[in-house]
Amino acid sequence: MNVPRPDDVSALDHVLVLAPYRSDAAYLAKMLDEHEIGVDVASGIAELADRLSAAPGVLLLTHEALTRAVMEAVAAHLQGQQAWSEMPIVVLLDRGSPDARIKAELSAAWPRARQLFYKRPVTAVELVSGVQSALLARLRQRDVRDHISREIELRRELNHRVKNILASVASIFEVTRRGATTLDGFAADFRGRLGALDKVHSAVFRAEGEVVALSEIAELTFEPYRQAGLERIAVRGPAILLTREAGTTLALCLHELATNAIKYGALSRPEGRVAFEWSLVGDDRAELAMRWTESGGPPVEEPVRVGYGTRYLRSALKAMLGRSPTLVFDRAGLICEASGPLSRVAGNP
């Protein structure tokens, strides 16, 4: 008898029934359905492989179904199971059947299956209880599967992030080496840039996601200078979340600007001040505009030779925002302005 296959059958959540004798299949399907257990029925060996491919939680067979062809089809399915999987098989044996021989034969044929045997006639309560226990064990296997899948995903993500971090470190090393004139200068600059990179990754980790607040990037980058008594950097702007990549780039750019201000600009004098501000501009507020302004420092003159810091700022901010920044060497203080589409950098929904 061919019982219609239900539309809501899902992997590991249902019982596959193969009971070819008289109305056994319909009876078993009705009994399980009354107890809200999902059922799928294979009408014979021709449908068995297809039904098994839907990954039943439990396979329920009657004694009459135990033909050589069925045993081989089930064995082939069991051999293809994942390491976490052990499909329970419930077998309804006839009264007077050679139980010991059948159990030994099935154990040898189906080594990767938890086998449960019941003698007919079996009460509905007893059979349903056994099937429900088998399904529960199957769902525990699914939990293990999900855990393994998640662990593999996390390992891949960790590998990806480590590679990105190493690439960033290698890039920072190369650009620092090209701009260095002394070993001590190289060491100090390299250490500072790695510190800026570290702060961004720490901020993203604390946020438990792939975004970080622009304000947090600024505060973390400027924190060392404030701890040194240089509490002269003003930070202002609306709440904006940046992607991890954009946050890393911005942190390195702010680190370059702050370092330059300490060496040559506004922060090299006690009365000097710096303002870092950002805003959303345009009719639809779809543009991110950032401005670095120095004041109170020594008179600024445009350098004769473009240094590493200037080249890096122009290259990094253009890659980040899609447009080249503007650097104004005003005598009153350096001004750096950068803007571009918010969609390029925003981690906001």
Q: Examine residue 319 and state whether it is found in any structural domain, yes or no.
A: yes
Shared-domain flag, residues 220 and 277: yes
Residues 81 and 213 in one domain: no
Domain-ending residue, one of 146, 172, 207: 146
Q: What is the pLDDT of residues 144-196, one digit of tens each?
A: 888 888 888 778 766 766 775 676 677 568 657 766 788 988 888 788 778 76
Question: What's the domain count of the chain?
Answer: 2
Looking at the structure, do residues 191 and 328 belong to the same domain, yes or no? yes
Q: Which of 130, 146, 162 is the last residue of a domain?
A: 146
pLDDT of residue 6: 47
Q: Is residue 129 part of a domain?
A: yes
Encoded tokens for 58: 């439990």
For residue 222, what are its two tokens?
A: 């400027």
Residue 163 lies in a domain: no
- pLDDT string in tens for the chain (349-residue length): 344 444 444 567 889 999 998 889 999 999 998 988 989 999 888 889 888 888 888 999 999 999 999 999 999 998 888 888 888 999 999 888 888 899 999 999 998 788 999 998 889 899 999 999 988 888 888 888 888 888 887 787 667 667 756 766 775 686 577 667 889 888 887 887 787 677 766 766 665 567 888 998 888 888 766 644 556 889 999 999 998 888 888 888 888 888 888 888 998 888 889 999 999 998 888 999 999 999 999 999 888 877 767 888 898 899 999 999 999 999 999 999 999 999 999 876 5
- Whether residues 141 and 184 share a domain: the answer is no
What pLDDT was estimated at residue 28? Answer: 92
125 and 193 within one domain: no
- Whether residues 109 and 196 fall in one domain: no
Domain containing 79: what range?
Answer: 14-146
pLDDT, residue 291, reads 97
d(CA 336, CA 314): 10
Q: By three-state DSSP, how is residue 118 classified? A: strand
| pLDDT at residue number 1 | 39
Radius of gyration of the chain (CA): 34
203 within domain boundaries:
yes
Sheet with 233-236, strands from edge to edge, namely 233-236, 273-281, 287-295, 333-341, 326-330
Q: Reduced to 3 states, what is the DSSP secondary structure of residue 265?
A: coil
Structure tokens at 193: 């840039």
Residues 22 and 89 in one domain: yes
Structure tokens at 130: 């056994």
Q: Which residues contact 128 (CB under 8 A, 6 or more apart)?
A: 31, 32, 35, 37
Given phi > 0 = left and psi -120 to 50 = alpha, else beta, which region is 67?
beta
Q: For residue 192, what are its two tokens?
A: 């500072």
Whether residue 322 sits in one domain with residue 194:
yes
The pLDDT tens digits of the residues spanning 183-235 come to 988 888 788 778 767 776 676 666 556 788 899 888 888 876 664 455 688 99
Residue 35 and residue 136 in one domain: yes
Q: Considering the entire predicted model, what is its pTM?
A: 0.51
Q: Is position 158 within any domain?
A: no
Burial class (CB in 10 A: 0-12, 13-18, 19+), 27: middle
Both 230 and 298 in a single domain? yes
For residue 3, the model assigns a pLDDT of 43
CATH of the domain at 267: 3.30.565.10
Cβ contacts of 307 within 8 Å, gap of 6 or more: 179
Q: Which of 122, 146, 170 is the last residue of a domain?
A: 146
Asked if 242 and 347 count as a contact pair (C-beta separation under 8 A), the reply is yes
In a domain, 269, yes or no: yes
Residues 30 and 125 both lie in one domain: yes
8 within a domain of the structure (yes/no): no
Whether residue 159 lies inside any domain: the answer is no
We report the CATH number of the domain holding residue 62 as 3.40.50.2300
29 and 104 in a single domain? The answer is yes
- CA atoms of 49 and 59, how far apart (whole Å): 12
> What is the reported pLDDT for 322?
94
